[in-house]
Amino acid sequence: MLGWETHEAAFVAYARIQGRLIQLGEYPGLVPSGDPARWVRGEVYALDNPSETLSRLDDYEGCGPNDPKPHEFERVAKDVLLDCGVSDKAWVYIFRGSTANKREILSGDYSKETL
Protein backbone atom coordinates (compact mmCIF):
# COMPACT_ATOMS: atom_id res chain seq x y z
CA MET A 1 0.00 0.00 0.00
CA LEU A 2 1.36 3.36 -0.95
CA GLY A 3 1.15 6.48 1.15
CA TRP A 4 1.28 9.03 -1.68
CA GLU A 5 -0.39 9.98 -4.92
CA THR A 6 1.45 11.02 -8.06
CA HIS A 7 0.82 11.31 -11.78
CA GLU A 8 1.53 7.55 -11.99
CA ALA A 9 -0.86 6.35 -9.28
CA ALA A 10 -4.48 7.13 -8.49
CA PHE A 11 -6.01 6.64 -5.06
CA VAL A 12 -8.64 3.86 -5.08
CA ALA A 13 -9.69 3.35 -1.46
CA TYR A 14 -8.67 2.96 2.12
CA ALA A 15 -8.30 -0.67 3.07
CA ARG A 16 -7.14 -3.01 5.77
CA ILE A 17 -5.20 -6.26 5.80
CA GLN A 18 -4.96 -8.90 8.46
CA GLY A 19 -1.66 -8.47 10.27
CA ARG A 20 0.30 -6.50 12.82
CA LEU A 21 2.09 -3.17 12.37
CA ILE A 22 5.56 -2.93 13.92
CA GLN A 23 7.54 0.27 14.55
CA LEU A 24 10.96 -0.16 12.92
CA GLY A 25 12.53 3.15 13.86
CA GLU A 26 11.55 5.82 11.36
CA TYR A 27 9.09 3.62 9.45
CA PRO A 28 6.60 0.80 10.07
CA GLY A 29 6.53 -2.80 8.92
CA LEU A 30 3.57 -5.07 8.19
CA VAL A 31 3.85 -8.54 9.71
CA PRO A 32 1.35 -11.29 8.83
CA SER A 33 -0.85 -12.51 11.68
CA GLY A 34 -3.29 -15.36 12.01
CA ASP A 35 -5.23 -13.40 14.64
CA PRO A 36 -8.55 -12.37 13.03
CA ALA A 37 -8.74 -9.39 15.40
CA ARG A 38 -5.45 -7.85 14.16
CA TRP A 39 -5.64 -5.48 11.19
CA VAL A 40 -3.36 -2.93 9.54
CA ARG A 41 -4.89 0.07 7.78
CA GLY A 42 -3.52 1.47 4.53
CA GLU A 43 -4.33 2.84 1.11
CA VAL A 44 -4.83 1.14 -2.26
CA TYR A 45 -3.69 2.81 -5.48
CA ALA A 46 -4.15 1.95 -9.15
CA LEU A 47 -0.84 2.22 -11.00
CA ASP A 48 -0.62 3.61 -14.52
CA ASN A 49 2.55 1.65 -15.28
CA PRO A 50 2.68 -1.17 -12.72
CA SER A 51 5.94 -2.85 -13.78
CA GLU A 52 7.93 0.40 -13.78
CA THR A 53 6.41 1.79 -10.58
CA LEU A 54 6.68 -1.51 -8.70
CA SER A 55 10.30 -1.86 -9.79
CA ARG A 56 11.09 1.58 -8.34
CA LEU A 57 9.16 0.78 -5.16
CA ASP A 58 11.07 -2.51 -4.80
CA ASP A 59 14.32 -0.54 -5.01
CA TYR A 60 13.02 1.97 -2.45
CA GLU A 61 12.00 -0.83 -0.07
CA GLY A 62 15.36 -2.55 -0.50
CA CYS A 63 14.01 -5.69 -2.16
CA GLY A 64 14.94 -5.01 -5.77
CA PRO A 65 17.04 -7.46 -7.80
CA ASN A 66 20.24 -5.50 -7.10
CA ASP A 67 19.69 -5.28 -3.33
CA PRO A 68 21.71 -7.64 -1.12
CA LYS A 69 19.85 -10.53 0.48
CA PRO A 70 18.27 -11.21 2.84
CA HIS A 71 15.79 -8.44 2.09
CA GLU A 72 14.11 -6.65 4.97
CA PHE A 73 10.85 -6.50 2.98
CA GLU A 74 9.18 -8.71 0.39
CA ARG A 75 6.46 -7.61 -2.03
CA VAL A 76 3.57 -10.07 -2.16
CA ALA A 77 0.00 -10.08 -3.47
CA LYS A 78 -2.42 -10.30 -0.54
CA ASP A 79 -6.14 -10.04 0.04
CA VAL A 80 -7.17 -6.66 1.40
CA LEU A 81 -10.58 -5.48 2.56
CA LEU A 82 -11.60 -2.14 1.08
CA ASP A 83 -13.57 0.22 3.34
CA CYS A 84 -16.63 -0.33 1.13
CA GLY A 85 -16.59 -4.01 2.22
CA VAL A 86 -15.21 -5.46 -1.04
CA SER A 87 -12.24 -7.82 -0.88
CA ASP A 88 -9.49 -7.36 -3.47
CA LYS A 89 -5.87 -8.34 -4.16
CA ALA A 90 -3.14 -5.74 -3.72
CA TRP A 91 0.64 -5.68 -3.66
CA VAL A 92 1.93 -5.16 -0.13
CA TYR A 93 5.39 -5.12 1.43
CA ILE A 94 5.78 -7.64 4.25
CA PHE A 95 8.48 -7.12 6.87
CA ARG A 96 10.71 -10.23 6.97
CA GLY A 97 13.08 -9.21 9.76
CA SER A 98 12.99 -9.97 13.45
CA THR A 99 10.25 -8.37 15.52
CA ALA A 100 12.10 -9.01 18.79
CA ASN A 101 12.25 -5.86 20.93
CA LYS A 102 10.13 -3.96 18.39
CA ARG A 103 7.05 -2.05 19.50
CA GLU A 104 3.73 -2.97 17.93
CA ILE A 105 1.49 -0.12 16.75
CA LEU A 106 -1.69 -1.43 18.33
CA SER A 107 -4.05 0.76 16.31
CA GLY A 108 -2.69 -0.74 13.09
CA ASP A 109 -2.86 2.75 11.58
CA TYR A 110 0.50 4.46 11.06
CA SER A 111 -1.18 7.77 10.17
CA LYS A 112 -2.35 7.98 13.79
CA GLU A 113 1.11 7.26 15.20
CA THR A 114 3.00 10.06 16.95
CA LEU A 115 6.74 9.56 16.87
Instruction: Please say whether the beta carbons of 81 and 90 come within 8 A.
Output: no
pLDDT value at position 113? 83
- State if pTM tops 0.85: yes
* Second-level CATH architecture of 9-106: Roll (3.10)
pLDDT value at position 8? 81
Is 29's pLDDT higher than 90?
yes
- Secondary-structure breakdown of the chain: helix, strand, coil percentages, each rounded to the nearest 5: 15, 40, 45
Q: Could you report how far apart the first and last alpha carbons of the chain are, in Å?
A: 21
